Amino acid sequence: MDLGVRDTGSNLNRLTLSALSWVKGEGAPLDIVGRIARYLAQVYENGPVEDRDVLDALDRTSFYQRRSIDADGGTLYRLFHQGLADYLKRYPLGSEDPFLKSEADVSLAILRTTLGGEIIWLGSSPYLRRHALEHAIEAKSALELLGNPEFLIAADLRSAVPALDRASSKIRTSNGAELLVAASTRRIPEDPGQRCLWMAVAARQMGCSILADELVAQLPKGGFVPVWASGRLVRGPRRVLQGQGSPLRAISHARVDTTPVVITAGDNQHVNVWSLDDRKRPYTLASSLGISSIASAVVSGVSVAVGVGTDRPGMVWDLATGAELRTLQGASGLSRIATSVANGVPVAVGVGTDWPGMVWDLATGAELRTLQGGNGLSRIATSVVNGAAVAVGVGPSGSVEVWDLLSGKSLGLLQHRQPAVTVTTGMYGTTPVALATYADGGLIGWNLKQASYWIGLAGAISAAAISEVDGETVIVIGSQDGTVRIWLPSRGER
């Protein structure tokens, strides 16, 4: 009713406020608000709209706005309440006229100039440098934008990089996105020419030759042009979990319904559960202080976490709610835990330097059996060999032994020459394998079907994991110098 009294008969007041409902962050400048207002006027056949008309409407409806000053001295406009923004997005002209277009349509209108041409990024507003990638993700044109070298040079990294968290894996792993992430972790020049040069060198180091050539084309003629760069710039981390607050002691992963999650435990902290979709920390697990090892499983269709600590009992939690479900009987003072399914029963196997290896029924918490001769184990992992669930553990002397989880009987030692420190399991194609690292560096792998040697690597290796990427087995190696490397066993190369 108030807008009806203030309006001039053209619905421009309402359309202008509706335009503000689509802006990001602290607000948008007049030219961006004008683009959205013109698009809405076109959708509703409301007649031509000029920036001066939008400015007049902004003045008439200032009661509904908050304004601030941007880095270039221009005014930013936004609505004063999110509830009002949500309503006006849905009903730009009134409750009887729901918005029939998509968010992608509006964002695409923002990314084009009034003449329909491409944006000149180095002369664009600070708003576009901050939020263009968000709008491009909504408009399903992010890959096009991330392939534009002018945008990469002009982008505000503090805003553009977090926007990638809401994008698909295909967008996040594109060359342009990787270059933005790499730039955000370093102090790169503010000057566009120097930033372009840095990005061209970085693109060469990342092996992105086409993108590097396009960046080089933006450099002034007659100046330094990188045609090759030594070293390798590692492609950046996909996600950063903010707020852990202390060094990690344990980490695991799971899926809750359709959401992939990471479970972390830190010094003097409860166990946190993080969504990989949006990096949010939905909750902590109840009564989880002091956990030093954690694993996940599915019990009767429920995703659960299982944790143990040297000064506390082992517990099982519901990952969907964070609630404690049960304790593991007699599982006090253990240092490592792993999970598996033995003959259809979800089980946990735990070890500690002062305890024999033990197996529990995760559905009841009852102890089922101990591992024959498995006293004082320091590490434990599980696998499936010829349909049978097995455990692979590191003994006090550094030996590596395999047990049948259904009977607890030892299946024998895996042969190696040096004391092992860590052990992990995985698949090499269809073959179950185990990897162990040595105290003085180096790694050895076994084929668990044949209990035979599979692979060996030299170097200051302190940890290893095995996974699959795009159908190819990869070994991720943590080194004592703090670097992480990827080994491709099928090719024998890093």
Per-domain residue ranges of the chain = 2-216
CB atoms within 10 A of CB 64: 21
Mean pLDDT of 364-390: 95
Decide if pLDDT at 57 tops 50.
yes
Query: Under 8 Å CB-to-CB from 483, ≥6 apart: which residues?
Result: none
Q: Name the residue among 338, 415, 414 with its Cα closest to residue 380.
A: 338
Which candidate, 223, 241, 231, 170, places its Cα nearest to that of 206? 231
Better-scored residue on pLDDT, 42 or 17: 17
Residue 312 neighbours by CB under 8 Å, 6+ apart: 289, 290, 291, 332
The separation between CA 270 and the C-alpha centre of its own chain, rounded to angstroms, equals 21
Question: So what's the pLDDT on residue 197?
Answer: 92
pLDDT of residue 240: 60
99 vs 120: CA distance, rounded Å = 30
Give the pLDDT score at 107. Answer: 83
Section 166-179 average pLDDT: 89
Q: What is the mean pLDDT of residues 104-131?
A: 74
Record the pTM. 0.60
Structure tokens at 95: 């409750």
Q: Please report, for residues 83, 173, 301, the alpha-carbon distance to residue 202 in angstroms, rounded to integers and kept in the order given.
A: 43, 16, 47
Mean pLDDT score, 451-460: 89
Q: What confidence score (pLDDT) does residue 114 get?
A: 33
